[in-house]
Amino acid sequence: MKKPKYFKLTRRVFIASLLPIAAASCKKSETPKPDPGPGGNPQPGKLQITGLKIPTTIFADQQTEVKIAGKGFLEGDVLIWSLVTGASTQYTINIKQILADEIVLTLPENMISGNFRLTAKRSTETLLLGTTNVELVFNANIPDKAGMTIKGVVHVQGVGLANVVVSDGTEVTKTDSNGIYYLPSNKSNGYVFISVPGNHEVDSDRSLPLFFKVLTQSASSVDTKDFKLTAVNNTNHVVLAMTDLHLAKRTDDIAQFERGFLPDATTVIQSYKNAGTKVYGLTMGDLTWDGYWYANNYFLSDYLNIISKLNTTIYNVMGNHDNDPYYANDRNAENAFRKIVGPPYYSFNLGNVHYVVLDNVEYINTGGAQGVLGERNYNGKIISSQMDWLRKDMAMIEDKSTPVIVAMHIQLNNNPSVNAAGTPTSSLRLSNSAEFIAAFSAFTNVNILTGHTHVNYAWENSPSMMEHNTAAVCATWWWTGNNGYAGNHICKDGSPGGYSIWEVNNRDMKWQYKSIGYENGYQFRAYDLNKCHITATAFAPASTDALLKPYAMEYATASAENEILINVWGFDEKWKVEVTENGNPLAVRRVSALDPLHIISYEAKRLNVNATPTEDFVTSKTGHMFKAKASNATNTLVIKVIDRFGRVYTENMIRPKALTYLMK
C-alpha cells in the first residue's frame, strides 16, 4: 500500500455537528440520529459514525492519501466532498481502506484547494459529517519568517511565477523570483487573494474564479496558501459588463432571465469563442435583492447557480442589494457575500489591462437585526481601509499608461442633464469622489464601469478618465416583461434591458451596449412625437387621464409640431446624430426628455391594475435624447447615428410612426 504522503497535517480536530435544521419547527432542533436497531447495534444500510475526527486543514497535493478517524463505515460507502464557496464543485471519493478506527482515501488528481463539506453516502442514505479545508501545497519547505502570518507560492506548471501581486485586502506584496510571497497579515478579512496576472487564469468553480483562499489558522499562526495558474493568451479578450440583475424569484424574473438574457449572452459568448477569443463576465452589483432573500428564499448561492449557465468565468462586484439585511453593520452585512462569492474588493489582469473591483456601498441598514429587515439604507462611499488598499494596488503598476478598468456598483457621476442650449452637466455622486479620482491621477487611461441607476450614460471626468454607467439586465426590475404587462424589456431611460460588450485588442478598447433580444446594431429608437399622445383610453383604460397625466407629462397633450425624438442609449460626446429629409439635413438638438415607451410600459400598466407606480421605477429624464423638426407629418426621414469608433447605425423612419409596446 502506498504510504500516506503528508506535507503537513494539523493536529487540531473537531467533532462535526453541522446537521440540517428541521424546517418549519418552532422548537429547538435536535441532531437526528440513525436507528441503532435491536440491542443498540447499527442496522445494515443505516449510517451511524462514531468517534469521528476530521482534520481542520489538510495540507497535501493531488493523489495524497488522507486518514479520517471514525467507526461505522462499511465497504461501498463513499464520501462526497462539496466546495462550500460556490457550492457546485463536488468530488465523490471512494473509501480505499477501512481500518479499526479510521478510513483511508485518496484525493483525486483534479481536486482544487478550498473549504469542503464532507457527506458520507451509503446507498440512498446520507450523513453530513462536517467540514475541512484542503490546501494543495506546492512547496512544503518554505521557511517561516518573523512577523509573516501568510506565506505561499504562485506557480504555473510546476514553476514559481515572479511579480504576482498578493493581498489580504490590507497588505499588498509581490512574489519573488521563485514565486514565493509573505504577508504580515492580522487576518481581519479572513482571506488572501492574488491579482491574477495577464495571460493567466485560475481554476473556477463553474463561473466563479478561485483567485482567493480562505484563511484557516489563528491570527498568530502561519497560513500556507498557494495559487496554481494556467497560462493562456488573453491579450485580446472580450468582457461582458452586466449589472443589476436583481434576481429575487418575483415578477417572473427567473423565467425572463432564462428566456431573454441567458440565450442572448450565450450566443454572444459563443460567437467570440468560435473566433478563438477569450471571453469573461464582469458584473457591477445588485446580483440579488436583499429585501427578498429571506421572504422568497433566494440568495447569492442561487445567483451563482443560474449565472453559471453562461459557461464563462465571471468576476463579481457587490451592490447595495447584495448585503445581508439582517445586519445593521457594513462589515457584518458583507459576510454572506464573502462566504458565498468571495472578496468584495480585489483586482485582476486580462492581457495588458488591469481591472479593479471595488465595493463602494457603505451599508447602514438602520433597524436591521436577526429576523428583522432594516431600512436597507446606505452611503455611496469607498471606506478608508479600502481606499488604502486601492492606493497600494495601483502603486504596484509601474507603467502608468497601463489601461485600467474599474468596476463598482454606485455611479461616480450622476446622470447628466442637458440645458436649453444643449449643454450637458453632471455632479459627483460618491461622498469621497475626489479621493477616488486622485487615486488614479498618475494613470492616463482609466475607464469606470458602474450600474445602480438602471439607465445608460457616459461622462468624462477628464481626458484620462471616463465613466460608463450601464443600464440594467433586469431593466425596470423585470416589471415591463412581467405577465400581463407590456411584453417588452425596457429601462427607465428607454434603453432596452441589456449589458455592454468590451472588446480589448492589446491596449485598444471598443465598447458597445447590447440590447437583450436585438442585434448589435440596434443602438437607438426614434419616435414620431405627433403619435406620442399618451391617454388613459389608449394605454390605461382601467385608469383615468387625471391619474396618468403626472406621469405622461408633456405627452399628455397631443402634438402637431412634426418633431421626432431619438433616444441614443450608448451616446457619448464623440457620437454624432444626423437627420435628413429628402436629402436635406435637419437641425438636430440635444435635449433632456422622458422616454414615452417607458411611460406606457410601466407607469400606465401599473395604473391600469390600480397600483401606484413605485417612485424609484418611474421614467427618468435622460440626456441622450435628440430632437429634429420635419417640414410635414408624413415625409420619410433618414436617421444616421455614428459612434466614437465610426460604426454607423441607420433608420429610414417611415411616418406616421405609431407608439406601440413592441416598437423599435
- Using CA atoms, how far apart are residues 237 and 230, in angstroms rounded to an integer? 16
Measured in degrees and rounded to the nearest 5, phi and psi for residue 423 equal: -95, 125
Q: Please report, as a single letter, which amino acid is at residue 237.
A: H
Q: Please report, as a single letter, which amino acid is at residue 170.
A: T
Position 140 confidence tier, pLDDT thresholds 50, 70, 90:
confident
On whether both 539 and 499 belong to a single domain, the answer is no
What is residue 23's predicted lDDT score, i.e. its pLDDT? 27
What is residue 14's predicted lDDT score, i.e. its pLDDT? 26
**Residues 393-409 pLDDT 10s:** 999 999 999 999 999 99
Average pLDDT for the chain = 91
Position 112 confidence tier, pLDDT thresholds 50, 70, 90:
confident
pLDDT at 104 over 50: yes
pLDDT at 20 over 50: no
Domain assignment present for 215: no
Q: What is the mean pLDDT of residues 322-326?
A: 98
135 versus 663: which is more confidently predicted? 663
On whether both 551 and 488 belong to a single domain, the answer is no
Grid-cell match 440565450, residue found: 263
Last residue of a domain, one of 472, 494, 515: 515
Range of the domain at 160: 142-187+222-231
pLDDT at 632 over 70: yes
**Residues 332-351 pLDDT 10s:** 999 999 999 999 999 999 99
Buried b (16+ CB within 10 A) or exposed e, 252-271: bbbebbeebbbebbeebbee
On whether both 344 and 452 belong to a single domain, the answer is yes
pLDDT at 307 over 50: yes
Domain assignment present for 202: no
On whether both 404 and 347 belong to a single domain, the answer is yes
What is residue 56's predicted lDDT score, i.e. its pLDDT? 84
On whether both 645 and 504 belong to a single domain, the answer is no
On whether both 551 and 435 belong to a single domain, the answer is no
Q: What is the CATH number of the domain that holds 63?
A: 2.60.40.10
Domain assignment present for 51: yes
Question: What 3-state DSSP class applies to 195?
Answer: strand
Q: What is the mean pLDDT of residues 549-578?
A: 97
pLDDT at 22 over 50: no
What is residue 86's predicted lDDT score, i.e. its pLDDT? 56
- Using CA atoms, how far apart are residues 293 and 573, in angstroms rounded to an integer? 40
Domain assignment present for 611: yes
Last residue of a domain, one of 74, 107, 136: 136
Q: What is the mean pLDDT of residues 594-616?
A: 97
What is residue 83's predicted lDDT score, i.e. its pLDDT? 87
pLDDT at 34 over 60: no
User: In 381-534, where do the E strands start and end?
Assistant: 404-407, 417-418, 424-425, 446-450, 457-462, 465-469, 498-505, 508-515, 525-528
What is residue 36's predicted lDDT score, i.e. its pLDDT? 36
What is residue 134's predicted lDDT score, i.e. its pLDDT? 86
On whether both 265 and 352 belong to a single domain, the answer is yes
pLDDT at 221 over 80: yes
Cell of 417: 442633464
pLDDT at 79 over 90: yes
Q: What is the mean pLDDT of residues 609-635?
A: 97
Of 461, 489, 460, 462, the C-alpha closest to 476 is: 489
Q: At what angle do helices 300-307 and 330-340 cross, to 10 degrees?
A: 40
pTM score, whole prediction: 0.85
Tell me whether residue 152 is exposed, middle or buried, using C-beta atoms within 10 angstroms of its C-beta: 0 to 12, 13 to 18, 19 or more.
buried
Domain assignment present for 461: yes
What is residue 155's predicted lDDT score, i.e. its pLDDT? 96
Q: What is the CATH number of the domain that holds 337?
A: 3.60.21.10
Q: What is the mean pLDDT of residues 573-602?
A: 98
Give percent of the chain with pLDDT exceeding 90: 85
Least confident among 75-84, 263-272, 537-546, 624-633 = 75-84
On whether both 287 and 320 belong to a single domain, the answer is yes
Give the chain's domain count: 4
pLDDT at 657 over 80: yes
Give 561-596 as a DSSP string.
Answer: S-EEEEE-TT--TT-EEEEEETTEEPPEEEEEE--H
Q: What is the mean pLDDT of residues 649-659?
A: 98
What is residue 61's predicted lDDT score, i.e. its pLDDT? 65
Position 508 confidence tier, pLDDT thresholds 50, 70, 90:
very high
Residue 322 CB contacts under 8 Å (≥ 6 apart), including other chains: 285, 286, 287, 288, 290, 300, 337, 341
Between strands 227-231 and 150-156, the pairing is parallel
On whether both 533 and 543 belong to a single domain, the answer is yes
On whether both 227 and 338 belong to a single domain, the answer is no
Least confident among 87-101, 171-185, 306-320, 462-476 = 87-101
CB atoms within 10 A of CB 390: 21
Position 35 confidence tier, pLDDT thresholds 50, 70, 90:
very low
On whether both 131 and 236 belong to a single domain, the answer is no
What is residue 55's predicted lDDT score, i.e. its pLDDT? 86
Q: What is the mean pLDDT of residues 585-598?
A: 98
What is residue 383's predicted lDDT score, i.e. its pLDDT? 97
Last residue of a domain, one of 515, 541, 573: 515
On whether both 254 and 397 belong to a single domain, the answer is yes
Q: What is the mean pLDDT of residues 10-32?
A: 29
In the chain, count H helices and then E strands: 10, 46
What is residue 45's predicted lDDT score, i.e. its pLDDT? 54
Q: What is the CATH number of the domain that holds 536?
A: 2.60.40
pLDDT at 1 over 70: no
- Using CA atoms, how far apart are residues 470 and 507, in angstroms rounded to an integer? 22
Domain assignment present for 207: no
Domain assignment present for 520: no
Domain assignment present for 563: yes
Least confident among 45-49, 389-393, 530-534 = 45-49
523 near 624, Cβ under 8 Å?
A: no
pLDDT at 557 over 60: yes
